[in-house]
Amino acid sequence: MIAGAVVFLVAVFFIKNGIPFLRNKNIEAINQKSSLVGNATVADLINKDTDGDEIPDWEESLWGTDPNTKETTPGVPDKTMIEKLKTDPANNYGGGDDGKNNTENLTETDKFSRELFSTLVTLNENGAVDQETVDKISNSLAESIQNSPQRKVYALSDIKVVPDGSVAAVKKYADASSAIYTKYPIQGNVLDILQRFVVDENNVDASVLSELDPIIKQTRARLAAMLTIQVPEPFSLLYVDLLNTSEKLAENLEDIRLYDTDAIVALGGITQYEQNVTAFQETLGKLVDAINQKLNN
Cα 290 to Cα 29, 117, 170, 175, 296, distances in angstroms: 50, 52, 10, 14, 10
Indicate the pLDDT class of residue 22, thresholds 50, 70 and 90.
very low
Instruction: Return left, alpha or beta for 148; rule: phi > 0 is left, psi -120 to 50 is alpha, else beta.
Output: beta
| pLDDT(61) > 80 | no
CA nearest to 229, candidates 174, 163, 176: 176
pLDDT score for 81: 85
The mean pLDDT of 50-78, rounded to a whole number, is: 83
Residue type, 129: V
The mean pLDDT of 207-222, rounded to a whole number, is: 95
pLDDT score for 123: 61
Q: Which of 24-28, 131-135, 191-195, 291-295 shows the lowest per-residue confidence on average (mean pLDDT)? A: 24-28
Indicate the pLDDT class of residue 82, thresholds 50, 70 and 90.
confident
pLDDT score for 8: 47
Cα 118 to Cα 17, 112, 133, distances in angstroms: 16, 10, 14
User: What are the structural domains of the chain?
Assistant: 6-144 (no CATH), 156-296 (1.20.120)
Taking the C-alpha atoms of residue 151 and residue 210, their distance in angstroms, rounded to an integer, is 22
| pLDDT(75) > 60 | yes
Residue type, 35: S
For the chain, what is the mean pLDDT? 75
| pLDDT(28) > 90 | no
Taking the C-alpha atoms of residue 78 and residue 66, their distance in angstroms, rounded to an integer, is 8
- Give the dihedral sign, CA 215/221/222/224: positive
| pLDDT(5) > 50 | no
Report yes or no: 172 and 162 within 8 Å, Cβ to Cβ: no
pLDDT score for 199: 77
| pLDDT(73) > 80 | yes
Return the ∠ at Cα 36 (arms to 32 and 42), rounded to 5°. 105
CA nearest to 235, candidates 154, 153, 163: 163
Q: Provide CB contacts within 8 A for 17, sequence distance 6+.
A: 109, 113, 263
Report yes or no: 162 and 232 within 8 Å, Cβ to Cβ: yes
Burial degree of 290 (CB within 10 A; 0-12, 13-18, 19+)? middle
Burial degree of 189 (CB within 10 A; 0-12, 13-18, 19+)? exposed
Report yes or no: 257 and 213 within 8 Å, Cβ to Cβ: yes
What would the pLDDT profile of 256-285 be if each residue is shown by its tens digit? 999 888 877 888 888 888 889 999 999 999
Helices 6-17 and 108-125: angle between axes, nearest 10 degrees: 90
